[in-house]
Each structure stands twice: as structure tokens, then as C-alpha cells.
Amino acid sequence: MNPLTSPILYPALQPLLVNRLQKSINFTELVPSETTQICPQKTTANAKGENPSVVKLNDFLEIPLRQINARTQIEYVSALAFKLSQGQSFSSQGLAEQIQANLHAQTQAVTIDTPPERIWQNFIVTVVEPGWIHLRLTDTGLAEWLQWAIDFPWQIDRPDHNRPASFAGADRHSVIAFEILHAFARCNSLLHLGRESRLIQFSSAQDQSGQEIIHLSHPIPWLNGEQTFVGQHPQDWALIRQLSEAIDALAATPKTASPQADRQALKLAHRLSQAFQRFHAACRIWGMDSQNPSLTQVRLGLVWLTQRVLQILIETRLQWSATPIF
């Protein structure tokens, strides 16, 4: 899926990066040269009309990409260069550097101003020997992504209570279910307190189907005067990484019910609820209103996003009821 031309169902980072990596090798042929370049040019063919030095890209449809556990940042790593260089005479390091150059050229060629484009412009691409491609999101890009996710018109498919759980682990009376639903309810309570304290404000509108959509009325001040992210506690970042992982997974998996899909949704919701509980225990929200109101608003913004992602997982994937206060 191209997140810039196809309907965007979730504000996920991984599909955006996969799209960019695909574009970096989006040529009919890969021609290795002395400098290991990716280009669409052809060289002399053999007697059968084939060029033995040309690598066909049809076999490389899957783009390897995963998020790594970076302490205070969002960072992905790709083994694409290794995959493309398998069985070839040119190095994965040189190929990775050419992909890096192509990605840089994409950034320079941006002509539209959308959240995905602004986020992409704030990814730093580096190559680590022997050919790993690292993509790190800057604090400015993180603020763009978080605000995009906050403003995103999340679509909630209400549960079909006539559909039985696909597997026993989806029972909403289990201990894991209690932890998930408790985290969701705690998010509701914190957001209610935030509104009562006038630290955050809400507005409502209707989507095309007539469903009420609640938004935060004002952008969250994610960055300080030095343009660094306001929340610097390890549990701030742990929750952000878990939110990113959950949204990436939502964008990658179908909505159709199956035991495997239910298990994955349950694991995602449980990991997110645990990350939220650790965040709530370690990161102060109240009592800093006069000293550092931005930090309070940032953490309430993370609570808001946690509530939304948990609601998607609970109602759309696990088919339980989870009505938010807002």
C-alpha cells in the first residue's frame, strides 16, 4: 500500500517507510556497476537477450523492516541491501549506500505538504556496516507523527456481540482482559481530570456516516524552545514505542476474525496496557501545572492516544465494549 495515494487507515510509520524503501528500488532492473548503482539503465544482453549482470526485482516484493529498541527515540532498521545482494557479486554495503542516496533524493524532491511527507522529511537515514539501513525519527518528526495520530479520524467498528470469541484467550472476563480494560478506564479518568483542570479541551464533529468524532481542540506542545521532545522520562519513550508498534501492527493486519488475529490483538492490547501502567506509575501528570504545563499536556496527549489505540484494539479486533468518556 502506498500511504500517500491509497486510503490511510491508521497513522502508522512502518507503511510510510516501506513505501519509501520500495520507491528507492522502484526500477525494472537493478544493474550493479563498479560503484554499485541502482538505476534503470540497460547493458548489453547475451545471445538469449538476457543480461547476466542484471538483477530482476520481481523476487524482492517484501521489504524487511523492523523497529529497534532505542531508549529515547523511534528508530527502524532494514536488511533490504542484504536481501537484494544475495547471490550477487556486489556488496551489500555499497548497495545500502546507494539506497541511502536514493532516499535522500526522495526527500529533496518533496513538493506537497501533508503529515506523512513532513514526517518523512524528519527521518535521518544512515548506513551501518556491513549494509544495515537505519531510519531514525528526529524529535521534530516525532512531534509531527504524534500530532497526526492525535488529529487522525480513527474509525471505530462497533463490536458484533453475536460473534463468539475465536479463541478462549479473548474472554473478556480473564485477568489479561481486566488489565486491558482497566488501563482503558484509567485513560478515561485522566482525560476527564485534564478537561476539568482546563489543561486540555475537546471539540466534536460528525463524520460522513454521522458518527460523532471527538478531537482535542488545540495542538499539543510536544517540543520545547530548543525543539527537543518535552517528555524525557524512559517511560514516556517506552509508551511511545509501544504505541508505534501497535499502530504499525494495526496497519499491517486485516480486520477479519481468526484465532491468530485475535491472539495478536490480545497481545498488542496487553503490551500497550502494561506500558501505559508503567508510564502512569513513573511519570507525573499533576502537580506541575504552574512549573511545566507543557509536560502535563504532552503526557495527557499520550494518554489520549493510548485511549484511542486501546479502543480500536478492544472494539474492532477483540469485539468487546469499551465506550470512552470522550
End-to-end, the C-alpha distance of the chain in Å comes to 31
Q: Once rounded to an integer, what is the mean pLDDT over residues 74-98?
A: 90
Portions of the chain given CATH number 1.10.730: 172-317
Cα angle 285-287-288, degrees, rounded to a multiple of 5:
75
Cα angle 68-73-79, degrees, rounded to a multiple of 5:
30
CA 161, 164, 166, 170 torsion-angle sign: positive
Instruction: Supply the pLDDT for residue 139.
Output: 97
Q: Once rounded to an integer, what is the mean pLDDT over residues 211-223?
A: 80
Q: For residues 222 and 229, is the Cβ–Cβ distance under 8 A?
A: yes
Q: For residues 315 and 321, is the Cβ–Cβ distance under 8 A?
A: yes
Q: What is the pLDDT of residues 90-117, one digit of tens each?
A: 789 999 999 999 999 888 877 778 999 9
CA 239, 244, 249, 250 torsion-angle sign: positive
Instruction: Supply the pLDDT for residue 317.
Output: 86
pTM attached to this predicted model: 0.84
Q: What is the pLDDT of residues 31-44, one digit of tens each?
A: 444 444 444 333 33
Instruction: Supply the pLDDT for residue 202.
Output: 80
Q: What is the pLDDT of residues 142-157, one digit of tens each?
A: 999 999 999 998 876 6
Sequence letter at residue 178: F
Q: Once rounded to an integer, what is the mean pLDDT over residues 225-235?
A: 94
Partners of residue 136 on adjacent β-strands: 75, 124
Instruction: Supply the pLDDT for residue 253.
Output: 75
On the CB side of 221, how many CA atoms lie within 13 Å of its CA?
12
pLDDT band at 8 (very low <50, low <70, confident <90, very high): confident
Please tell me whether the peptide bond between 130 and the residue prior to it is cis, using omega within 30 degrees of 0: yes
Partners of residue 216 on adjacent β-strands: 202
CATH class of 172-317: mainly alpha
CA distances to 8, 18, 206, 225 from 1, in Å: 9, 9, 27, 37
